[in-house]
Structure 1
């Protein structure tokens, strides 16, 4: 069985998944960077480093690029074309398109009545100031980002307009989310094929406002209540992803979902539960391809 991995060279999860595919299939290890793929529309073929991607039995998308941006949507369109031509892709390009953009993901979750922190979407500085007056303090989040990159916290006050105007210059559509009291951790709740796999916690270690590993957060094991698992299950079920982690915060007002990950990482799962999520994922894909 010939399976390729769409990922980033040097990325821990991408490299781990590519190694696991090679071990499980006994075939050549192929880690595909989308920046080096050529799609030939007349023939319907796509080429990478001497490979025609249509010759693979399946592709697994681990990462579509090293940094989130709207350009990644175009890379997904290339994969959507191949999928429409019969190539099996995990997770589906359609599914990833719906969660890669933070706004698209949020709208889908809100339509399903998934509890989230109060959020405002606007292109207007004046309307952003109205939201700030209501929230008191908020996190401004770029639509395409991960690990809290590009996010910042703003308090309502005399300097808010200037800060919002500067932010809007780089982010015309502003995603503004009221800050909530997180405590010292939030959760990554993992699902494979829609079935619950495990949960890990990301814990603050240095007073940072977020728990991401980029800001010094550390992983530890965590056993959530059945209600929290069910909430995460409902959230991820809106997107039909083959593998994902749902980010959940535990607050005094109950659990809130932050997002459903387009890709989901393996390291936190392995470090906290000992589960080899890459191996489980490859076995799942191989079974689906039989």
Structure 2
């Protein structure tokens, strides 16, 4: 059986998934999307001598080393492959809905999922009003992961200059009230819509966020049933085959930050000793083999 893994060469989770799929399916096929040629007259999608249209399935692990709007166009190539009959996990359309932070947020908000107070604006004055109302706010680029490009801002005489500089690179500003994370937040993992387990990302220093790039460490955590059900509802809105829902437990109750299309493998392994790559590979083979 030929199953390709779409990912970034050298990436830890990509290589792990490609190795596992190769071991189980009998052939290792790692597809770097930036090396694909989509030829619309013939309908072929070629990568290093492989026509993706001839594969039994594709698993999308990563489509770029950094989040950017360019990834949306890469997903369109994979959408073409999927709609021509190749099973793709997760669906490119599902990933499109979570890749853009604003698209994900709007879907969650329309479904009544509790999130931190958030402002979306292109106006510097409105952005400053939000900072003033929130007391302290996090500015988040629409395409990012692991807190890259984010910064925390308090109201004060230097706030306008900081917002002006930020807006020069981020015309649409996503501004979220700072939430007391109580030194950790959670990743709740789901496979095929079924709950797997939860890990925590814990601060180990004075960083404002818990990401591993800021020194955060993974730890096991068992959330109450109502938090699991909240995360289950959040991920069900997107129909992803594998996902992690980022949740913060606060004095005001649980808040969902986002639903991720790509994360979770390392957290599950380090905190729970769960090999998500193997579980995902076995899940896909079972789906394809039906």
TM-score, length-normalised on structure 2? Answer: 0.99
RMSD over aligned Cα atoms = 0.6
- What does 1:25-44 align with in structure 2 at a 5 Å threshold? 25-27=25-27, 29-44=28-43
Q: Unaligned regions of 5+ residues in structure 1, if any?
A: none
Match of 1:166 in 2: 165
Match of 1:13 in 2: 13
Match of 2:244 in 1: 245
Name segments (4+ residues, structure 1) moved above 6 Å: none
Query: Aligned residue pairs: how many?
Result: 289
Question: Secondary structure of the equivalent of 2:45?
Answer: strand
Question: Secondary structure of the equivalent of 2:208?
Answer: coil
State the Cα deviation string for residues 114-145 of structure 1 (Å, max 9, x = none): 00000000000011111111111100000000
State the Cα deviation string for residues 49-87 of structure 1 (Å, max 9, x = none): 110111110000000100000000000000001111001
Q: Distance between the aligned counterparts of 1:158 and 1:135, measured in 2?
A: 16
Question: Secondary structure of the equivalent of 1:283?
Answer: helix
Q: Distance between the aligned counterparts of 2:234 and 2:92, measured in 1?
A: 18
Retained in 1: the 8 A contact 2:187–2:264? no
Q: Unaligned regions of 5+ residues in structure 2, if any?
A: none
1:235 aligns with 2:266: no
Question: Secondary structure of the equivalent of 2:269?
Answer: helix
Q: Distance between the aligned counterparts of 1:277 and 1:115, measured in 2?
A: 27
Match of 1:97 in 2: 96
TM-score, length-normalised on structure 1? Answer: 0.99
Q: Distance between the aligned counterparts of 2:128 and 2:271, measured in 1?
A: 41
Q: Distance between the aligned counterparts of 2:271 and 2:264, measured in 1?
A: 12
Retained in 2: the 8 A contact 1:246–1:260? yes
Q: Distance between the aligned counterparts of 1:167 and 1:87, measured in 2?
A: 41
Q: Distance between the aligned counterparts of 2:25 and 2:82, measured in 1?
A: 21
1:139 aligns with 2:168: no
Question: Secondary structure of the equivalent of 1:182?
Answer: coil
- Give the CA deviation at 1:206: 1.1
